[in-house]
Amino acid sequence: MTTTASDQVFRLPDLGEGLTEAEVVKWWVQVGDEVRVDETIAEVETAKSIVEVPSPYAGTVTTLHADEGGTVAVGAPLITIGAADASGAADGAARAYREEERAGSGNVLIGYGTGDGPARGRRRAPRGTAAPAVPAPAPAPAAPAPEVASRRPVASPVVRRLARDGGVDLAAVAGTGADGLVTRSDVVRALAARDGLAAAAPTGPASGERRTALSSFRRTVAASLSRSRAEIPEATVWVDVDATALWELRESTRTPGDPGPGILAYLARFVVAGLKRYPVLNARVDTERQEIVEHDHVHLGIAVQGERGLVVPAVLGADAMTTAQLDGALRDLTERARAGRATAEELAAGTFTLNNYGGFRVDGSAAIINHPQVAILGFGRILDRAWVVDGEIVPRKITQMSFVFDHRVCDGGTAAGFMRVVADAIEDPATAIRDL
């Protein structure tokens, strides 16, 4: 492939999550398509979510530098677009778009505006690859040579994924396909040969083991949870709560055409009320300055088990919402998060986390605090249990509420006070909602 002076090479920008690469999930354009400035050209998958990537250029697509399923390093070419008419409005829009990014407006992805000249910002080579080869000098002036891939050609993104998940370096695999293409069978043989040698080694793993490389998502989760456990002296308290009145209130709001707010929306409303009473729990710790930093808003994080693993996106501005508004926001956020489409802001903005692990049919959990937050509240299943009311044993709907907090910011009295605000609201929701 050769490029011309009018070609505009768009390199994958830093998506703001400290990552070094992303996987192309879907191309929205093909070679030969006309694109406009800010038109979505691709969806890429990071360790946290799926992000739509808009084009900073207008013109005709000449090259897609990765297949769907392929991995692109930050700073590596993603797409090449032949320049549109420089005198047209599209070119002016493109210049304005890149100037906006240079000015730091925040309206475009970090890393855009590389435009002419060397790419700005961090540029990392893909892990495990060598520097691009230098092309031999041409006998006559020619167009700039393309960047040379350092790995063997691979026909299918499925092969690349198989190799990556298995920890196989494709550069070390002899391809048996046409022109040396590495096929799925080649990678499977490489995995079998490696695992066989490992099993035979005296210090290697026992035979029969199956090893799976940590995905970028799992590595990110591991780093975050490890930091939480390393830095935060956490304590856990719990209480059984009679949720019968809340259950009955929720059922009374249902109509054939409107299911009304769900239980989680009421719990979220009560949590926000508790945080207003005890704002030290809606905070973070500045370890460098040895200060507790209380937030003036509640961005309520919700633990969601998505297609790729557990994520904790936040309902932004939950402290200003009614129960009905919280219900709509929670349903929308949960649906998008399960599909990997929560925004980067939602994934990073949480100030406190609410965890409904009862959805997994379990009753209790000593959760890990989502760093840099200082607390997490969780609820187990709501079950019919024998309960003593006014001296009589009666069936009631009981749930266990567990609270994990950072002991640096408060002691048990504050934690207990917060829990009672939430628990009392659950047990007498009509009064709590009236007084909120």
Q: Which of 41-50, 197-206, 333-342, 414-423 has the highest mean pLDDT?
A: 414-423
Structure tokens at 430: 């009509």
Over pLDDT 70: what percentage of the chain? 75
Q: 215 falls in which pLDDT band (50, 70, 90)?
A: confident
Three-state secondary structure call for residue 25: strand
Cα(310)–Cα(227) distance, rounded to whole angstroms?
17
For the chain, residues classed under CATH 4.10.320.10 are 151-213
What token pair was written down for 209?
Answer: 């083991």
Tell me where in the chain the CATH 2.40.50.100 domain(s) lie: 1-142
Q: Which residues contact 277 (CB under 8 A, 6 or more apart)?
A: 417, 418, 421
1: tokens are: 């492939």
Instruction: Read off φ and ψ for residue 180, nearest 5 degrees.
Output: 80, 15
Query: Which CATH number is 151-213 given?
Result: 4.10.320.10
Alpha-helical runs (H) found in 242-288: 244-252, 263-277
Between 108 and 210, the more confident residue is 210
Tokens 């040698």 label which residue?
197
* Residue 227 reports pLDDT greater than 80: yes
Q: Is the pLDDT of residue 78 over 90?
A: yes
Select from 79, 90, 70 the least CA-distant residue to 40. 79
| Higher pLDDT, residue 30 or 119 | 30
Per-residue pLDDT for 124 more than 50? no
Coil, strand or helix: which one is 336? Answer: helix
Name the residues annotated as catalytic: 407
Q: Does domain 233-435 have CATH number 3.30.559.10?
A: yes
Give pTM, 2 decimals: 0.60
Backbone angles phi, psi at 319, to 5 degrees: -70, -15
Range(s) of the chain covered by CATH 3.30.559.10: 233-435
Query: Which ranges of 167-292 would DSSP assign to H, the alpha helix?
Result: 184-200, 216-231, 244-252, 263-277
CATH code of the domain made up of 1-142? 2.40.50.100
pLDDT at 389 over 70: yes
With a cut of 90, say whether residue 105 has pLDDT above it: no
